[in-house]
Amino acid sequence: MKTMWAPWRMEYILGEKTEGCIFCKALSDQDHLTLYKDQEALVVMNKYPYINGHLLVAPIRHLSALDQLNKDEMGDLLETVEKSIGILKKTMNPDGFNVGLNLGKVAGAGVEEHLHFHIVPRWFGDTNALTVFADVRVIPEHLLATYNKLKPYFDKMEKMA
C-alpha cells in the first residue's frame, strides 16, 4: 500500500470553522487567496480545488441569483471570467476548461448565498482512479505556489481596468 501525504489539510481539519460568507470576507482579507477585485467582481482561488488553478469569480454584491445582478455587474462578471481564463491559459497552459455556476444546494452550491462562477482548468489525463474509487483528488501543486504563479497576472489585469 502507498501513502499519500497532505499535511496542509490538518489546518482545515483541526482549525476553528468561521461563519460568514467567504466572498464577503475575501473583499477585505488577503488571507482568503484573493487574486483580484474591482467595483463589480472579485476572483479568489478555491481553497479546496478540484485541480490546480480552480478559481471562483463572484460579484462584489452579496447576491444569490443571476436575476439579481444589474447589467453592469453581469457584464463585468463575465468579462472577469473571460480575463481569468486568459490568465490561466498563459500561466498554466490547460487543454480546456469547465466553467459554470451551481445555483442552489441541490445543484452542488457549497456557498449558495453568494453567486459565483467556477473556472476549472483541465488537462488531458488529469483524472485518475483515485477520484473514481476512493473519492480522493490529487492536487500536484501546493495552493500557495499556484497563487504566487497567478497573482502577478491578476495584478496587471487590475491596472488595465
Q: What pLDDT digit, counting tens, does each position of 32-91 carry?
A: 789 999 999 999 998 878 788 999 999 999 999 999 999 999 999 999 999 999 999 999
In this predicted model, what pLDDT tens digit does every residue of 125-152 receive, in sequence order? 776 545 544 566 667 778 888 889 999 9
CATH, residue 46: 3.30.428.10
Domain assignment of residue 132, given as a range: 18-160
Tally of domains within the chain: 1
Q: Residue 17: pLDDT band by 50, 70, 90 thresholds?
A: low
Global pTM reads 0.77
- The residues, any chain, with a CB within 8 Å of residue 42's CB and separated by 6 or more, are 23, 26, 27, 34, 36, 57, 58, 60
The residues annotated with a catalytic role in the active site are 116
d(CA 69, CA 77): 10
